Amino acid sequence: MAEASQLWKFRDESSTTAMAIGSQGRYGAVGGRRSGVVFLGQDGRPVWRSREISDVRDISLAGGGRAVLVASGDNTVHYLDRRGREMWHRNLNHAATTVGVSSRADLVVTGLLRGSLHAYDRTGKLLWEHRPGGTDFRINDVAISANGQYVVVGTDYAHVYLYSASGNVLWSVETTGKVLETCISSNGDYIAYMTDDRRIYFAVKSSRVVWEYRFDRQPLWIDMVGTADFVVVGETPRKVSIFSKSGRRTWSFKLQAPGTIGRLADSGGNILVGGRNGEVTMLGIEAYLARLLRQAQRLVERARTEGLDPHEADQQLYAAERALEDGAHQEFLDTVARAKNAAQEAPVARKAVAETAGGGDSCGNCGAENLPGFKFCGSCGQKLAQGCPSCGTQLQPGFQFCGNCGAQL
């Protein structure tokens, strides 16, 4: 099985405690307890570093890195722009453990060690506060849908919560263990989370769990592509696995250096992995995306062999191939999904309809069978009834519409 490709590598001054990756996988940000925050460019080189922020607990990037949000153990949440300039910070009652941001940076939510949530707009104005379950249990993770409409929260209280952007609790579900990490699709329709009893869950927006998986040992991290087509899990410091939307482990690869933290780009083509030794690696998983393309190709070929017309699916496949070659991972996932749908909904091919109807036309004058395409009877010269150009059904002379499919003649 093909391995993930290493795109670049960076080594920080101390162990990595937090990281984030841009939505398209072109940028990254990492932080440590003593090394501050480093923003990394497309080649893995530092664009800027902020040493003023200490004890970094979590980092989140808006969109392509237009804003960098940092949760700090010194009871502060920081908002920096793409150049590393601090636009605002807010002092909190307790250590900030996690932070999430929408793609447009119009919603920022941070969770605290002592169980409360604080939501801000892009200017730092406080929008709402809430204490999940009314307890002081630690907030472990916050994830916000790219469209900014939903917030999923995991806590030590062994509950996962879904909030609206305005701070209303849409639902809360008791889990089998502490909820360590959460993730949500770009539109908020799907949610995944990991608990401390070696389980991961994949659920829909209504809270219904579609599938769960229990590991032999505690996984380290979890993330989901924006389309929710697959979930990536750091099973061990050396092993990363991908689970399909149906819950099957479909791909695994080994890491050259151990990684205890990992993040997947929303667009699905890149993974950022870091560890205690300060080494951070950007990986490309186009080998897995190529696997998805081959699956779609087989589906289209099956439709063709079954007498269906996969013309629309072929067009989408072509677009998916070009997108993958260009590294446009988001466009690839969208078009390959449309190709699969088009193959499954492909209409019956005209040739198949004609063959089902008995091949060529039968002469209404002498009864002789003629080859497909004949306009006049080869036996007596009588003009033959024509077939519908849309579905192939045999027609009588003078008809203006097909009696089978309604097509205008």
48, 117, 397 from 86: Cα distances, Å? 12, 22, 78
Task: State the pLDDT at residue 398.
Answer: 57
The CB density around residue 107, as the number of other CB atoms within 10 Å, is: 24
Q: What is the pLDDT of residue 353?
A: 47
pLDDT at 200: 98
Residues 172 and 254 in one domain: yes
Last residue of a domain, one of 237, 265, 284: 284
- HSE at residue 50, side-chain half, CA atoms within 13 A, is 25
Write down the pLDDT at residue 358. Answer: 47
**Is the same domain home to 275 and 307?**
no
3-class secondary-structure state, position 355: helix
Output the pLDDT for position 354.
Answer: 47
**pLDDT recorded at residue 390:** 59
DSSP, res 44: S
Residues 308, 375: one domain? no
Which residues, other chains included, contact 59 with Cβ-Cβ below 8 Å and sequence gap of 6+?
18, 19, 20, 29, 30, 31, 37, 68, 69, 70, 71, 99
- Shared-domain flag, residues 228 and 307: no
| Three-state secondary structure call for residue 336 | helix
- Locate 360 and state its tokens: 């060529």
Q: What is the pLDDT of residues 368-401, one digit of tens each?
A: 676 666 667 767 777 776 666 555 566 555 566 6
In terms of residue numbers, what domain contains 324? 291-344
CA distances from 212 to 156, 215, 246, 394 (A): 19, 10, 10, 53
Q: Is residue 258 domain-shared with residue 402, that is, in the same domain?
A: no
* Dist. CA 103–CA 124, nearest whole Å: 16
CB-side neighbour CA atoms (13 Å) of 46 = 15
Residues 409 and 375 in one domain: yes
> Where does residue 162 fall: left (phi above 0), alpha (psi -120 to 50 degrees), or beta otherwise?
beta
H or E element: which one contains 6?
Answer: strand 5-11
Phi, psi of 195 (to 5 degrees): -110, 165
* Angle CA 370–376–380, to nearest 5: 80
Is 261 in the same domain as 372?
Answer: no
Q: By the 8 A CB rule, do 102 and 148 touch?
A: yes
pLDDT, one tens digit for every residue, the chain (409 residues): 578 999 999 999 889 999 999 999 999 999 998 889 999 999 999 999 999 999 999 999 998 788 999 999 999 999 999 999 999 999 999 999 999 999 999 999 999 999 999 999 999 999 999 999 999 999 999 999 999 999 999 999 999 999 999 999 999 999 999 999 999 999 999 999 999 999 999 999 999 999 999 999 999 999 999 999 999 999 999 999 999 999 999 999 999 999 999 999 999 999 999 988 899 999 999 999 999 999 999 999 999 999 999 999 999 999 999 999 999 999 999 999 999 999 999 888 765 444 444 455 667 666 667 666 666 776 777 777 666 655 556 655 556 667 666 666 6
pTM: 0.84
111 and 11 share one domain: yes
Same domain, yes or no: 94 and 130: yes
Q: What residues have CB less than 8 Å from 231, skipping those under 6 apart?
A: 183, 192, 200, 202, 222, 223, 224, 225, 242, 243
Last residue in a domain, options 284, 312, 336 = 284
Q: Which of 233, 257, 284 is the last residue of a domain?
A: 284
Residues 364 and 239 placed together within one structural domain of the fold? no
Domain shared by 221 and 171, yes or no: yes
What are the pLDDT digits (tens) for 86-117? Answer: 999 999 999 999 999 999 999 999 999 999 99
For residues 303 and 255, membership in a common domain is answered with: no
What is the model's pLDDT at position 349?
A: 75
Dihedral sign for Cα 293, 299, 303, 306, please. Answer: positive
Q: Tell me what the pLDDT averaged over the chain comes to.
A: 91
Report the C-alpha gap between 297 and 301 in whole angstroms: 6
CATH code of the domain containing 84: 2.130.10.10
CA distance 19 to 281: 11
Name the domain count of the chain.
3
